[in-house]
């Protein structure tokens, strides 16, 4: 994996770069749609590739490990072949899912024992096992196994959790070196900065992660309920420590405004379930604000979903029609909303990239943040 920094904005820390993998190039800043169980919910791979056109998507280690399982994925030739996707894929380590199963898991130094949400069976993830599973899944980018702390979180717990994450990281790198290559392409391990919302812990973690000299670095444990200002403050402090010549990935973020604010702080990569999950609940993100398409006010609005036309659906269907689909619980409504939201998110980060390259990012960002705030 190789990263080339093309341009840095003069009035912020925003950057434009190109990340090269064996499955293709990723132009940054980039948003990565989440394909939890080998699918971006509600979207055909053909629509994903031709209409939304992300440079990279996400797979979920925890869910893929449980179903269909790594043995079947290896038989298929890896996740790319299994799901019919020939561009880059990133898998998370399963750490966040284990965090979200707080009532059904037990953390020890060796690893985490957790209970499956599907059948109640018990499983044990260690840093070594998490790397082994991701190698078998076959993603281009794999994540270190970390402990994600909740918000709020006591300082002492955040500190001990961060230190455990650092010890686990060393084990992840050792496992990564020791494991044989299963596919004919490179798989790159990203470490993750933790430390909750404590400035000294975040800086300590960022210095430790930077010292590992990985090809890229991630920031985890944010967007877990903390106020946006705290998220931005932590991101800013971490980005000030992480090396400039390597991509920075902010995990699980966020709203369109969150994306622009964090791009301005020096983040290159994002993922989040928000555009897909909110789409299934009738929320449409636009450059002019947010629409709840289920509201009665759209009942006889026969204008296009979005005249900006981020994808074919925006101009092919009206707001009244999509509202009707949600009213009668037709799955097509959720599909159309998902297609729109993901297309908008990809347009947004690509537009940010264009403005970074020509030196107008800060002015454009300020205008877009104001514009996107209203609930329509």
Q: Give the residue numbers marked as catalytic.
A: 92, 271
Token pair 């985490």 is at which residue? 112
Query: How far from 313 is each of 39, 177, 337, 346, 374, CA to CA, in Å?
Result: 20, 46, 9, 15, 23
Measured distance CA(317)–CA(325) in Å, rounded: 11
State the alpha helices, DSSP H only, in the chain: 45-47, 61-66, 70-76, 79-83, 95-100, 127-137, 155-178, 199-211, 228-241, 256-263, 274-280, 312-316, 319-327, 331-358, 361-372
Residues 189-228 as b or e (16 or more Cβ within 10 Å = b): bbbbbbbbbbeebbbbbbebbbeeebebbbbbbbbbebeb
CB atoms within 10 A of CB 91: 26
Q: Of how many residues is the chain composed? A: 376
Which residues fall within 8 angstroms of residue 137, CB to CB, at 6 or more apart? 59, 61, 64, 65, 70, 73, 78, 79, 91
- The answer to whether residues 161 and 205 touch, using CB atoms and an 8 Å cutoff, is no
Which residues fall within 8 angstroms of residue 235, CB to CB, at 6 or more apart? 219, 222, 250, 262, 265, 266, 267
């Amino acid at each position: 994996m190789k990263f080339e920094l093309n341009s840095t904005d003069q009035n912020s820390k925003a950057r434009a770069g190109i990340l090269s993998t064996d499955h293709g190039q990723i132009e940054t800043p980039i948003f990565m749609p989440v394909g939890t169980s080998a699918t971006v919910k509600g979207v055909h791979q053909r629509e994903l590739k031709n209409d939304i056109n992300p440079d990279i998507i996400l797979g979920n280690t925890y869910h893929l490990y449980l179903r269909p399982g790594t043995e079947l994925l290896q038989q298929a030739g890896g996740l790319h072949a299994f799901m019919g996707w020939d561009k880059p894929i990133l898998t998370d380590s399963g750490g966040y899912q284990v965090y979200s199963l707080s009532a059904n898991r037990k953390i020890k130094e060796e690893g985490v024992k957790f209970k499956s949400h599907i059948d109640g069976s018990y499983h044990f993830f260690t840093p070594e096992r998490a790397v082994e599973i991701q190698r078998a899944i076959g993603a281009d980018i794999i994540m270190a196994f970390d402990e994600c702390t909740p918000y709020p979180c006591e300082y002492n717990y955040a500190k001990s959790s961060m230190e455990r994450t650092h010890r686990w990281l060393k084990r992840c790198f050792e496992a990564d070196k020791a494991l044989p290559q299963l596919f004919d392409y490179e798989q790159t391990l990203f470490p993750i900065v933790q430390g909750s919302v404590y400035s000294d812990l975040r800086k300590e973690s960022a210095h430790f992660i930077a010292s590992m000299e990985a090809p890229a670095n991630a920031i985890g444990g944010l967007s877990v309920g903390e106020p946006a200002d705290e998220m931005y403050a932590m991101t800013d402090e971490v980005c000030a420590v992480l090396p400039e010549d390597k991509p920075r990935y902010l995990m699980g973020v966020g709203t369109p405004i969150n994306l622009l604010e964090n791009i301005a702080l020096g983040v290159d990569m994002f993922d989040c379930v928000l555009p897909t999950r909110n789409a299934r609940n009738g929320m449409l993100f636009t450059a002019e604000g947010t629409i709840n398409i289920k509201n009665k006010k759209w009942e006889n609005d026969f204008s296009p979903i979005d005249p900006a036309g981020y994808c074919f659906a925006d101009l092919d269907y009206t707001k009244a029609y999509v509202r009707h689909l949600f009213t009668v619980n037709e799955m097509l409504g959720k599909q159309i909303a998902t297609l729109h939201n993901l297309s908008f998110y990809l347009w947004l980060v690509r537009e940010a990239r264009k403005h970074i390259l020509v030196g107008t990012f800060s002015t454009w960002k300020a205008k877009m943040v104001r514009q996107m705030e209203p609930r329509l």
